[in-house]
């Protein structure tokens, strides 16, 4: 792991990493266990990766913890996930504070049960003063929901005379997204061998580097994170330009 760490250029870290934590259920089923067994062990991976990002100096880490589509899963699994969520959040708040990590939450939180919203609000308040890593949990989140919600709110403000339709641009839409106070992710990691974005930060990932690994989330650790960052740093990020332009810009820095 130390050898991997030494390959990382700390001057070129992604400012914001987003992760689709996939494969908990399949990991458990492969071991002959109930799906919740995988989610329980996935919490260990969350702790490890949050710690790894904080140690590196990553500013923002967004974890796709529960999508709006996940509400359609079997009821016992959903109820178990909500209970695990609350227990984990309450247990981890002292650790977040010790490591100066601030918690944020994005998503359609009105769909969460009352006890889960209460625990989240407590954690948000208790970590609000922290100035280190910003840990963003996407809960009951759907990018299509987010975009529809943004359009609705823009329409309301146009109707109220607060916005002129002709003045609407990319910056306008950005301000109405649930991530309005966050930079866009530069690196998106998805575990467990699936090659989809699955309704996750569709607008925000427009220029993110995408990294897919076959490793199931419960097995994902710091060394896997380091491999993803090394891969990210080997890529040339052109943003629609050509290589010659990027190299010329680097020379003039």
pTM, entire model: 0.92
CA distances from 176 to 36, 155, 157, 173 (A): 35, 11, 11, 5
Q: What is the pLDDT of residues 190-235, one digit of tens each?
A: 999 999 999 999 999 999 999 999 999 999 999 999 999 999 999 9
- Other C-beta atoms closer than 10 Å to the C-beta of 172 total 13
Q: What is the pLDDT of residues 10-39, one digit of tens each?
A: 999 999 999 999 999 999 999 999 999 999
Question: Given this model, what pLDDT does residue 150 score?
Answer: 97
Q: What is the pLDDT of residues 106-147, one digit of tens each?
A: 999 999 999 999 999 999 999 999 999 999 999 999 999 999
Residue 141 and residue 43: Cα distance in Å, rounded?
Answer: 19
Q: Is 212 helix (H, G, I), strand (E, B) or coil?
A: strand
CA distances from 221 to 91, 100, 180 (A): 20, 21, 29
Q: What is the pLDDT of residues 155-169, one digit of tens each?
A: 999 999 999 999 999
What's the whole-number mean pLDDT along residues 179-188?
A: 97
- So which residues are the catalytic ones? 22, 70
Eight-class DSSP state of 106? E
DSSP letters of 179-199?
TTTSPPPSEEEE-TT----TT
pLDDT > 70? residue 241:
no
Residue 233 and residue 236: Cα distance in Å, rounded?
Answer: 8
What's the whole-number mean pLDDT along residues 56-67?
A: 96
């Amino acid at each position: 792991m130390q050898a991997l760490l030494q390959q990382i250029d700390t001057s070129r870290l992604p400012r914001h990493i987003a992760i689709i934590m996939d494969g908990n259920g399949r990991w458990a089923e492969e071991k002959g266990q109930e799906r919740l067994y995988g989610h329980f062990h996935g919490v260990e991976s969350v702790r490890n990766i949050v710690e790894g990002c904080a140690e590196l100096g990553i500013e923002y880490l967004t974890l796709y913890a529960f999508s709006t589509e996940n509400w359609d899963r079997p009821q016992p699994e959903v109820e178990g996930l909500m209970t695990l969520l609350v227990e984990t959040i309450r247990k981890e708040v002292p650790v977040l504070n010790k490591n100066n990590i601030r918690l944020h939450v994005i998503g359609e939180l009105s769909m969460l049960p009352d006890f889960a919203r209460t625990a989240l609000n407590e954690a948000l308040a208790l970590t609000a003063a922290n100035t280190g890593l910003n840990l963003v949990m996407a809960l009951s989140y759907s990018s299509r929901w987010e975009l529809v919600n943004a359009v609705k709110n823009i329409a309301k403000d146009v109707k109220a005379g607060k916005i002129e339709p002709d003045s609407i641009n990319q910056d306008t839409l950005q301000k109405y997204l649930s991530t309005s106070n966050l930079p866009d992710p530069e690196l998106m990691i998805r575990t467990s061998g699936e090659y989809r974005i699955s309704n996750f930060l569709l607008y925000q990932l427009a220029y993110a580097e995408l990294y897919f690994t076959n490793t199931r989330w419960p097995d994902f650790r710091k060394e896997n994170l380091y491999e993803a960052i090394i891969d990210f740093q080997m890529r040339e990020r052109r943003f629609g330009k050509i290589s010659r332009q990027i190299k010329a810009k680097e020379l003039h820095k």
